[in-house]
Each structure stands twice: as C-alpha cells, then as structure tokens.
A and B are shown apart, each in its own frame.
Chain A
Amino acid sequence: MKRRQFFKSLMGTSVLMLGGVSAFQWYQQSSIEYSNHVKTEFLTADDQVVLSVLIPIIAGDLPQAPNIETTILNVDEAILQLPLRTQAELRELFDLLSTGVSRLLLAGVWLNWQKAGSQHVIDFLDDWREHSLSLLQQAYIGLRLLVVGSIYAEPDHWAAIGYPGPYPINQ
C-alpha cells in the first residue's frame, strides 16, 4: 500500500469510529497552545508543538536540556534542503502527528501533545520503533534522525559526551 493511501485509510477508519465527526472538528476541539514558536518555513505552528513535546523526550537525560527553538530551526532548515519527494513524505508525517484523530488510533493516546505525560510519548515512540508495519518504523527512524541530529549538531551537548570539538587551527 502506498503511504498516502495508508494514512488516508487510517484517517477514514478513525472518522467512522467517531461517528461521523470530522477529523478537523476533533482537531479544533483539541486545540493546542504553544506560545513561543519560531519563524519556520516548512514546519507549521502545530508541527512545532509536536516537536516541542518530542525533543526533550528524545534527548533523554542530557545534562543541558536542548534548546527547543534552536532544535526546531535546525529541523526546519534540514528539511528545506531535502528533495521535494521527501518533504512531501514529512508533510504527511507531521500532519498525522498533529492530528488528534489519527493520533488516537495510532498511539492510543487521546490527550493533547503537551499534556501527554512523558511516559505516553515514550510508549508511543517505542511502539513505532518496534511496529510490525515498516511504514511506522520508517516514520520513527526519519523523525528521530531529524531530531537527534538537530540536537547533537549543537556544541552545547558535546561536553556531556566527551567531545571537545574540533582542534583550533591557525590557517
């Protein structure tokens, strides 16, 4: 099954399950607040909310918590350099993540992202990592790669892993 069809069919079932209430209505009811969002070109305000929840959880026990804005900007910039095909795939993935209805079905979490206790989010990541559908494993791998890469790109986190940074050189 093509990924678009797959995501669509998931949306379809979930709307049916909810007795005809559209995904959009559900989405509005679960409206999310995220105040300090940064200026991005690919990521929407909703995507930023999703990321603001995922980033600290993916980062784990890093002594210096990753700066959410910097990480989001790194993710946005990386995506803008990817081929249009990959950007389209990521658009679907982020839409899926920020849409309450499919989240209900896929992750079994019916809470706003911000309110989702971190264990719920960890469970959701674990679930996608181990999922029998390769599409969800791919989604996990892609999303996680963007986020961890955007965290460890920053010198803030190098001391914690024993990386002194590049040698200073005189040219």
Chain B
Amino acid sequence: MTIAYPNTFDYSNETPATEMECDVVIVGTGAGGGIAAEILSRSGLKVVMVEEGPLKTSADFKMQEKQAYADLYQEVAGRQTIDKSIQILQGRCVGGSTTVNWTSSFRTPERTLSYWKERFGIKGLSSSELKPWFQWVEQRLNIAPWSIPPNQNNQLLADGLRKLGWEYNVIPRNVSGCANLGYCGMGCPINAKQSMLVSCIPMALSLGSQLIARARAEQILVEKEQVRGVMLSSVDNRGQVKQKNVTFIRARQVILAAGAIGSPAILLRSGLQKANPLVGKRTFLHPVTATIGLMSEKVNGFYGAPQSIYSDEFLWRDGVTGEMGYKLEVPPLHPLLASTLLRHHGEKHFQLMQNFAFYQANLALLRDGFNDLSIGGEVKLDKYDYPQLDYSPNEILWRGIRHATLSMAEVQFAAGAKKVIPLHMDATFYSTLKRARDAIMNLPAKALRWQIMSAHVMGGCAMGSDASESVCNSKGQLRGLDNLSILDGSIFPTSLGVNPQLSIYAIVAKLVAQLAQKLGGNLPQDLKAL
C-alpha cells in the first residue's frame, strides 16, 4: 500500500518561498502536530506543517540501524544531557517520534490527571472528560491490546512477574496488520504502525494542507502582543542549517508541537522567556534504567513486537507524591544500540556481545516530577542557538533507580536467567540473586557510571492555572499571547507514569478541537459529538 504525500516541499533541495500565508502554522509533525493537523484541516482551516526532519516513508525503511538513526532521530539517536549522563531518543522526521516509537499505547492514569487538577489547577482534563477523546483516538489509530503471543523478550518478563506474584498485563498497540517484525524503532517497513506519518499527516495533506520538510522554525514574530507568524531556516540532508531565516510564514494562529526540547527552544530563541520565566523548566524524562539477563536459550530480542507486556506493580509504590515509582517493560534489542550500551572495549566488550541473542533486557521507566524533590531538567540554548537539556540526576532519582534495578534483577532470576548485569559501568554479571542484590545495593550512585536513558521527553511549557507556576493555561495557550498554542508533550506539568503517545494524542485532540472552533472552523461531526 503506498500512501500519497501531496502538497509537500523539501527545503534541503528546493528553493524556499520567501513568504507564505495560512490560517494555522504547526511546527513539528509528531504526536501533537499530527493530530492537530488532521483536526484543523478537517475543520476546513488552511494549515501549513513545518518539520525539521526529512519526509521518509515505508519505502525508505530498511530495518537498518545505521540508516534509521541518521535519517529519523535527533542527533543520530545520541542526544545527551549537558553532563552526558542521560542518552535521549527522539524522532526527527515527518511523524516525529511516532515514526520510530514502539507502539505502546496507554491512557493517562487517573491518578496523574487528578494530581494535575489538584496540584496545578488544570481544568477540563479529568479522566471522565478525556474518556471520549481516548476512545476517538483509539479508534482512529486502531489501538487494541496485542492479541498475538509476546516475543520471548516480553514473555520472560511475564514469566518472572508471574512467578513472583507481581501484577502484569498486555500492552495495547496502535497497529493494523502488524507482521510482528520488531523494527518499529527504525520505521515500520509495511505501514502497519499507525504513526502520524501514515494516518493524520496524509489525511491533512489530502485535504489541502501543506508540509515543509527539512525546515527548522527559528523564531516566532510578535507585534503588538499578537503573534504574526514563524521564521524558518532551511536545513540540509545532514540536519545542519543551510540558510537562516529564509521563509516567513504569516498565520492567524501558531501552534508549537516541536516536542519537549524543540518547543521550549523556539520560545527561548524568540525571547519569550522574559514574560514567561518558566519556559524550558521542569522538563521530565521518565528516566530509564535497565538490566540484562543471560538466558540458557536464545531470546532473539530483535524480533517480534518490541513491547507487549508491562507491570505497574511498583508504579505507585509510595503513593503519588512519595518515592519515585516505576513501570516495568522491555526494550527491543538491536546490535548497534546494544553495542553502545555495553560500555566496555576490547576483549571484554566482545565477550559481552557474543551472547547478544541470549539476552533478555528489562527496563524501568521512573515517574519523575511528582515529588517536590523531583524537579526535572531545563532546556537551554547553546552558543549556536541549538537546544540542550540540563538534567542532573539527584538523590531521589538514584534511590528510585536502585530500587528498580533490584526489582528487575529479581524478575530476571525468577524467569530463569543464569546471570544478570545492570547497565552500570562498575557492574559485572552476577550469578545469583543474592550476589546481585549485594552488588546493586553498593553500586555508586554517580552520573555517567549508572547509565540512564530516555525516550519520553515531556514538560518545559507546563500548563496550569497559576501564572507563577506555568507557561500556558489548561488550553495550551501561552500566557500573554492568545494566538500562540503549545500542543505537544511539553505542556505536561509532570511526567505521566505511562508511555506518552496516547496522552498527547487525546489531550491535543481535545484542545485543538476547541481551538478549531475558536478560529471559525467547522468541526466535523465525529468530533463535534464528543
């Protein structure tokens, strides 16, 4: 099945227009930008989407890490925090992170939404108010619990959890006709994953919306307390700026959906932190820590739906605001990324790599931002005006990481692992649970040594009712500029406790439907009824 992408421009090889005009310009084409584009176009508004990454489609997806990381990810999948202690995976292509994500689709937990309401005064986003929007998205993107047996990597997580009497469940996925290949992270080669790339974006284009790929939004232009539009730079096929400020897109409404590092960066480049000092602050990551278990049979963690089993046994282990809770899942395993995560060289490194097919990996994603000590990070600009994230792991995070590492090792031994190694530069393989426990209790809680990853950047433009605590209101509207909305993961005031895509889709759908009406659009029936 080939999908058409009409009305598309590519600034890496085309001459940019100096000026364009539309009702709404959307910066970023990921979870937030994609949904927003569909709903606004279906409401009859003239939309231009701007994306700094390339338009790559299933025909380009060859299930090769080298090519996929370079084409589809921010900083070749090696984006790092300033102190280099956390590695960040984010998409940088049409479809954003949804083009490369692992398809796990969870509704926002009730406890998270209640906390937002009580603590930050967020309105209109309770579980019951969001329910019809979750249902709408679930139908639109074919989200349902994975009905095929999990691959061995996931099955072993389930086995361990069952033996220990810990809860687990099957993950809902946004797929249609999935062949269980396991390469979601490199772009789905058969268009089974219902990412923004194959759903909302082509729908918006078919209705006359336009898409400019390889164009970076530089800054927003403000005149007389109104946003006038966005300035774009052209980008070459290595992602470097070719020509600064080549195109001005004049629009009645600007939507930032450049993700939780990209959106704050645009506000910072536009000088808007002067009126909104919290721009870029309280950025959350769901910091991830992992353990690897050596099994006696091949696991082949590279094949099969990457994530199909999860456990919330420890997600609320100390209540909503206590010690950091975590969700247990598994990552897919592919050679390039695995080789970089095993931080050795020479003989030791190859010895570890040799058993690659026998490894089962668990990950824990920690719920940051709910405890007053979990303050998150801050997006800053470097001297090239490019964003970087300052996020220093602190005591409460280390405690959570240690706790999670102990749990994951326990699950692996219960599932029959012969030995287990945590991703820590001072760790080795431990052959019994007791040895693993003793060692993990003593692993130094130090940045760089204890490896942390993230694929879930959120926050930095927090919603809220109190101007001194938030960047935008509960509608995603930036304070002081009523024709600038932020509609992506950056408006979350904390992390979520679940993989973010469905939360972003549903919340943005609800907010952008209101916006479409405000702009005089005609909301289609299916959405009007919600």
Chain A contact residues, CB within 8 Å of chain B: 57-62, 74, 77-78, 80-86, 122, 125, 129, 134, 137-138, 141-142, 144-145, 148-149, 151-154, 157-158, 160-163, 166-167, 169, 171
Contact = CB atoms under 8 A, between A and B. Distances in A.
A110 to B, nearest CB: 22
Given A61-B350, A161-B356, A166 B84 contact: no
Contact of B76 (A78, A157, A161): A78
Interface stretch (B27-35, B201-209, B336-344): B336-344
Contacts of B383: 85
B356 A61 contact: no
Interface in B317-337: 334-336
A153 B336 contact: yes
A22 to B, nearest CB: 29
B348 interface: yes
Nearest to B241: A84
Given A85-B382, A151-B339, A160-B353, 6 more contacts: A59-B346, A78-B78, A83-B382, A125-B346, A129-B345, A163-B335
B358 interface: yes
Interface in B342-395: 343, 345-351, 353-358, 382-384, 386, 388
Interface residues of B, number: 52
A17 B479 CA distance: 59
A85 B384 contact: yes
Nearest to A155: B64
Contacts of A151: 339
A82 B76 contact: yes
Contacts of A161: 335, 353-357
Contacts of B339: 148-149, 151-152
B63 interface: yes
A153 B386 contact: no
A107 to B, nearest CB: 14
A62 B70 CA distance: 25
Given A84-B384, A152-B336, A158-B335, A122 B346 contact: yes
Contacts of A162: 298, 354-358
Interface of A is mostly: helix
A60 to B, nearest CB: 4
A152 B448 contact: no
A60 B448 contact: no
Contacts of A145: 78, 340
Contacts of B356: 161-163
A158 B335 CA distance: 8
Contacts of A62: 350
Contacts of A166: 62-64, 181, 183
A144 B448 CA distance: 14
B458 to A, nearest CB: 21
22 contacts: A60-B346, A61-B350, A61-B351, A77-B70, A78-B76, A81-B70, A83-B384, A84-B384, A85-B383, A122-B346, A141-B84, A141-B343, A144-B343, A145-B78, A152-B336, A157-B335, A161-B354, A162-B298, A163-B302, A163-B335, A166-B183, A171-B58
Interface of B: 58-59, 62-66, 70, 75-76, 78, 83-84, 179, 181, 183, 189-190, 238-240, 298, 302-303, 334-336, 338-340, 343, 345-351, 353-358, 382-384, 386, 388, 425, 447-448
A137 B451 CA distance: 13
A162 B238 CA distance: 32
Nearest to A152: B339
A134 B347 contact: no
A138 B345 CA distance: 15
A169 B238 CA distance: 28
Shortest Cβ-Cβ A-B pairs, 8 listed: A162-B357, A166-B63, A60-B350, A153-B66, A152-B339, A161-B356, A60-B346, A58-B345
B335 to A, nearest CB: 5
A167 B353 CA distance: 21
A160 B355 CA distance: 9
Most chain A CB within 10 A, of B63, B298, B349, is at B349
B88 to A, nearest CB: 13
A86 to B, nearest CB: 7
Nearest to A61: B350
A108 to B, nearest CB: 18
A166 B335 CA distance: 11
Contacts of B349: 58-60, 148
B347 A81 contact: no
Contacts of B345: 57-58, 60, 122, 125, 129, 144, 148
Contacts of A153: 64-66, 336
Contacts of A137: 448
A82 B78 contact: yes
A62 B339 CA distance: 13
Contacts of A158: 335
Given A60-B349, A161-B335, A162-B357, A81 B448 contact: no
Contacts of A83: 75, 382, 384, 386
Contacts of A154: 66
B181 A85 contact: no
Nearest to A170: B190
B303 to A, nearest CB: 7
A167 B357 CA distance: 15
A161 B350 CA distance: 9
Nearest to A134: B448
Contacts of A74: 66
A80 B334 CA distance: 23
A122 B448 CA distance: 20
